Structure 1
Amino acid sequence: MNIGCVYTTDPYHSVKKPLNMATLIPFGLAMIITVLQKAGHDVELFVVTPKTPLDEYIGRYVKDHQPSLFCFTAVSTQYWQVKNVARYLATLDKNIFCLLGGHHASLNSDEVINDGIFDAICIGEGENAVVELADAINNTMPVHNIGSIWVRNRETGQVTKNHTNDFDGDLDGLPYINRTIWDKWIELPNEYPSLLLGRGCPFKCTYCSNHAMEKLSGGKYVRFRSPDSIHGEINYILENYPSVERIFLEVETFGANRPASYRIFDALAAYNKHLQNPIQFGVNLALTSHFMETNERITELFEKSRAANLAIIHIGLESGSERMRKEILLRPKYTNNELVEFCKMAKKYNVRVIFYVLLGLPGETLEDYYETVKAARNAQPDNCYVAIFFPYLGTDLATMAINMGLVTHEELTPTGATKAERGLALLDMDRFSSRRIRFEFIVFWWRVYKGHWPLLKILAKMAGSFLRAYPKLYSLYINTIWLFPSYASSLASRLKQSLPQLPPSLLLGSREPPADKSHGLYREKETSPPRKSDI
């Protein structure tokens, strides 16, 4: 059976290649595509932007292949766009069955199914359910009794709500995702691919969807893949993309389970010993005071990181206010002093640290935000991925924002063009107004990196923050920054020839792009991996 799958994105690299690097492949839809293909179905993928000509892409596919099923995924801010595509499909062929999965359908199930746009929604993890649904449609069998699937009768509007299947406890039993089907939609399909280490998270951070998703099903929520399974997928990546130099290890809280994490570190170290050009790895780390209790413990972490060739560690600072982390965000416990000490140790081991930072949180004051600036300035991470808080429906922090009267339920499900998700402030608070949030979002880079980064780099970051409020312009900015490292390296080379005394750091900071690696580690500016946990 022919099946179409749709992923939407905004901002985007270009209409023809919306994703700029392999890190941006979404694991959920990628796995659905893979299991459908393994079940014998012919699947076509579409990555859709607000400017994608649907007639040219999806319309032509429907005309030539007569698909029976279309699968979509969406978070709250993507919902308007997938609805538009589903409505468009209905004008082409009313017999196409439309299924929506993802966080928005899982956490706002009644609202989504009663919109009457989709024939069915998938609740929670759906690898088995979607294959069962596709097989039923292909064999003209009933679809109303499939676990994890809610089905809406087109004629009567009646909704059948089936039980939700347990979480899959055997992640090693899942296939490696088909990455090649995404290649034509990615500018650099061999750049920084992600590899999923596990699913679930033991922490209960209020801005994240994990605490809500855990309640949907039975079974164990926090699960890890075995080192052998991870080895196998690294081999698969290198076989298909021989030029890959680095891989991002995607898991919500690497380090939350130290024994499991260290087993993976040791396995990666052993794997790299057999490679002529060892792979560099990046990972999200759940920093806790537990790691910082003794010098021996933190030294062990970095020694294992060095052995595994771990080059980048992402840390979810979110807020530098310890009050906000403890009372509002429910983050893992650590102090700002411990964070600073961790970053100092990372520099000794030549490990780059990147912070995730949120501002404009419910209950946050300007004083709280200044604590964030102070913590980041003292720690001096190599980069920060800064975002204005967006309350995703179904999360505890979104419910808090609604209950505080800071935002309405309707505002959290955009009905038209994207509302500059994470680039504009929805919340307007007495002690941290929306205008001030927007201002601080732009000048964050000046406050944190003045005197540490070259002025050109700070201004480029500030420009990017300003343009985040304008998705079309921001997409253009991303493309410009994407090309900048190659241009800057060439410019610095010419300047050094004509002005040998001029330090390249004036243009590029203390780290020049590596020779012949214009697409390498330096290219990290505006291409951060999306945080899949908090959407």
Structure 2
Amino acid sequence: MKVLFVYPDFLATRTKPGSNQFEITKGGWYSEGLASISAVLKEEDQQTSLLHLTEPAGKEDFRQRLAEEKPDIIAFTVRTSAFPYVREYLKWAREFDPSLLAVLGGVHATIAPWDCIEAEGADIVCVGEGEGPMVDLCEALAKKRKFGRIPNFLVKEGRRVVANPPRKLIYPLDSLPLPDFELFDFSQLVASQTKTAVVIVSRGCPYSCGYCCNHKIREVYPDPEHYTRFRSPKNTMLYLKKLLKFYPWVSYVRFIDNILGIEKGWLAQFTKLYQKEVNLPFACDHRADLATPEFLKLLKDAGCNFIYFGVESGDENLRKSVLSRFMTDREIKRAFRECRQLGIKTLAFNIVGLPFETPAKVLKTVKLNAQINPNRMVPNIFTPYPYTKMYEISLKEGFISGPIADYRDEVFLDQPQFSKKEVLFFAYFFQLLVRLYQRMARYPKFERTLDRIVLSPLLPRTFLTTLMKFWLKFVGESKVVVRKRLPSFYLFLRDRIFS
């Protein structure tokens, strides 16, 4: 059997509310899930290929690729924001070949499987991990057997849908083959432009943050105690060595695990082996309340020189009661301070437009960032993804009127105390405001004056936001050009200008 994976890897945002015009942010990112499923299928002598869509596809180009590949199965990985495009691609695939079997998988398929199975042209939805189900499906088709009772699958059978129970989680992760890195053209990936490899050696997260779907995915499985799993340190080295064998030009590793090294024993062994067998600088994600001096020292010794932290909100009560992130301001400040002392650079993720947030509360987030002084900051506008805790809060409080069918807007919540134009202003001016408050820290009188200006209803927010959008678009396009043509210069500038 031949499986064609379709990976819509781009972000579309409406240019203005109600518009059918979209600003497209091109992708170009590695997917561990697809590489893993491909490796498992190839072990069973199945064929795989990838249609990596870094921007929306045109109908003729899409049909041409199907004609070239001649797949038996077309398998879409579905993100919530990309679902409108997947709906369209399903129709094109059905028009091209009515007998082509269409499978939907990924995060959105797992948390909203019934939405996916109702899409025109969808035959199967995979709920949860796809390795085992896809092997079973290929085997059934090859032997001309029925496939309606494969665990993890929702299957259309005429006018009804058969919902099969989930299978157990893949545990331990070492039982999986190493990913099929060759599925991707690494030379075309965004990270490759700076000789960086994107790596993930774990699955799951033990936390249940209010904006995240991890708790919903965890509930899918009959053995949720195994939801958070890591490859062993030894197996992780095999993974990295295989990657470096195929792509010896890699000089930097970006681990995108939710948290790299939750357990001290794993991290200690990883550090020892990584120093000896890989010895490349790397970046990773961590949590401020877990990033103790001991953990940070192990990461530093292994070669970590950049850590990404989720700060999210500077209002401690909002952070705990709404985001379910039970860390204190003190812990956040300590983690950033100790990273700085160890020479580890930091990035702070932040969210603007949270349920119950006000301009004054988001200003707390700005000021907390000014105090912790990260090397880089990312302000995201809150998106109420389906079935998350904060989606349910938004629905209950009337901040959204009902289920969201299209996630391509910029701002979703309607809150009387925090208007959409205020949300956009703080999101687009976030980094500039942080730098201004850093400069005002020694002058409380001027800081209070800045407070009054920023919070004033007379401030022309829409006009200022429009100007900043143009500026940030120019900066973003400049980054792309510099990263492609002068990657070393880009890395030099990144933390000085582009942050």
State if a TM-score over 0.5 links the two structures: yes
Question: In structure 1, which of residues 405, 421, 438 is the aligned counterpart of residue 424 of structure 2?
Answer: 438
Match of 2:389 in 1: 396
Provide the C-alpha distance between the structure 2 equivalents of 1:387 and 1:467, rounded to a whole number of angstroms: 18
1:182–1:65 CA distance, 2 compared to 1 (3 A): closer
Question: In structure 1, which of residues 466, 475, 481 is the aligned counterpart of residue 469 of structure 2?
Answer: 466
Match of 2:248 in 1: 242
Provide the C-alpha distance between the structure 1 equivalents of 2:495 and 2:171, rounded to a whole number of angstroms: 34
**Structure 2 residue 296 is the aligned partner of structure 1 residue 302:** yes
| Offset at residue 63 of structure 1 (A) | 2.3
1:410–1:255 CA distance, 2 compared to 1 (3 A): same
**Structure 2 residue 266 is the aligned partner of structure 1 residue 260:** yes
Alignment check: 8 A CA contact 1:98 1:120 kept: yes
Alignment check: 8 A CA contact 2:232 2:266 kept: no
Q: How does 1:69-468 map to 2 (within 5 A)?
A: 69-153=73-157, 156-183=158-185, 185-186=188-189, 189=192, 191-219=195-223, 220-272=226-278, 278-288=279-289, 291=291, 298=293, 300-333=294-327, 335-411=328-404, 413-414=405-406, 419-420=408-409, 424-450=410-436, 466=469
Bigger mean CA offset, 348-357 vs 260-269: 260-269
Provide the C-alpha distance between the structure 2 equivalents of 1:233 and 1:521, rounded to a whole number of angstroms: 29
Q: How does 1:490-501 map to 2 (within 5 A)?
A: none
Alignment check: 8 A CA contact 2:155 2:162 kept: yes
Provide the C-alpha distance between the structure 2 equivalents of 1:353 and 1:384, rounded to a whole number of angstroms: 9
Provide the C-alpha distance between the structure 1 equivalents of 2:40 and 2:142, rounded to a whole number of angstroms: 15
| Offset at residue 48 of structure 1 (A) | 2.1
Alignment check: 8 A CA contact 1:199 1:224 kept: yes
**Structure 2 residue 47 is the aligned partner of structure 1 residue 42:** yes
Higher relative contact order (CA 8 A, sep 6+): 1
Amino acid in structure 1 at the alignment position of 2:8: T
Provide the C-alpha distance between the structure 2 equivalents of 1:118 and 1:322, rounded to a whole number of angstroms: 44
Provide the C-alpha distance between the structure 1 equivalents of 2:74 and 2:32, rounded to a whole number of angstroms: 18
CA distances 1:33-78 after superposition (whole Å, capped 9, x unpaired): 222223222222112255423423x322332443211000112111
Amino acid in structure 1 at the alignment position of 2:37: I
Alignment check: 8 A CA contact 1:171 1:225 kept: yes
1:267–1:465 CA distance, 2 compared to 1 (3 A): farther
Provide the C-alpha distance between the structure 2 equivalents of 1:265 and 1:464, rounded to a whole number of angstroms: 46
The aligned length equals 458
Match of 2:478 in 1: 480
Provide the C-alpha distance between the structure 1 equivalents of 2:491 and 2:382, rounded to a whole number of angstroms: 30
1:442–1:18 CA distance, 2 compared to 1 (3 A): closer
| Offset at residue 522 of structure 1 (A) | 5.0
| Offset at residue 519 of structure 1 (A) | 5.5
| Offset at residue 463 of structure 1 (A) | 8.7
Amino acid in structure 1 at the alignment position of 2:163: K
Provide the C-alpha distance between the structure 1 equivalents of 2:491 and 2:250, rounded to a whole number of angstroms: 10
Provide the C-alpha distance between the structure 2 equivalents of 1:266 and 1:143, rounded to a whole number of angstroms: 46
1:464–1:143 CA distance, 2 compared to 1 (3 A): farther
CA distances 1:83-107 after superposition (whole Å, capped 9, x unpaired): 1111101111000000001121111
The runs of 5 or more residues in structure 2 that have no matched partner are 13-24, 440-464
SS in 1 for 2:121: coil
1:432–1:282 CA distance, 2 compared to 1 (3 A): same
Provide the C-alpha distance between the structure 1 equivalents of 2:211 and 2:53, rounded to a whole number of angstroms: 27
1:307–1:49 CA distance, 2 compared to 1 (3 A): closer
CA distances 1:453-490 after superposition (whole Å, capped 9, x unpaired): 9xxxxxxxx9997269xxxx95x864421223688x8x
SS in 2 for 1:82: helix
| Offset at residue 311 of structure 1 (A) | 0.8
Provide the C-alpha distance between the structure 2 equivalents of 1:171 and 1:211, rounded to a whole number of angstroms: 20
The runs of 5 or more residues in structure 1 that have no matched partner are 273-277, 293-297, 454-461, 490-515, 529-535
Alignment check: 8 A CA contact 1:402 1:409 kept: yes
Provide the C-alpha distance between the structure 2 equivalents of 1:279 and 1:332, rounded to a whole number of angstroms: 33
Match of 1:492 in 2: none
Match of 1:496 in 2: none
Alignment check: 8 A CA contact 2:350 2:380 kept: yes
Give % identity.
22
1:519–1:180 CA distance, 2 compared to 1 (3 A): farther
Provide the C-alpha distance between the structure 2 equivalents of 1:239 and 1:73, rounded to a whole number of angstroms: 27
TM-score (normalised: structure 1)? 0.79
CA distances 1:339-368 after superposition (whole Å, capped 9, x unpaired): 223222212221111111111111222222
Q: How does 1:43-58 map to 2 (within 5 A)?
A: 43-49=48-54, 51-56=56-61, 58=62
Provide the C-alpha distance between the structure 2 equivalents of 1:527 and 1:231, rounded to a whole number of angstroms: 33
TM-score (normalised: structure 2)? 0.84
| Offset at residue 27 of structure 1 (A) | 1.9
Alignment check: 8 A CA contact 1:314 1:355 kept: yes
1:97–1:127 CA distance, 2 compared to 1 (3 A): same
**Structure 2 residue 19 is the aligned partner of structure 1 residue 30:** no
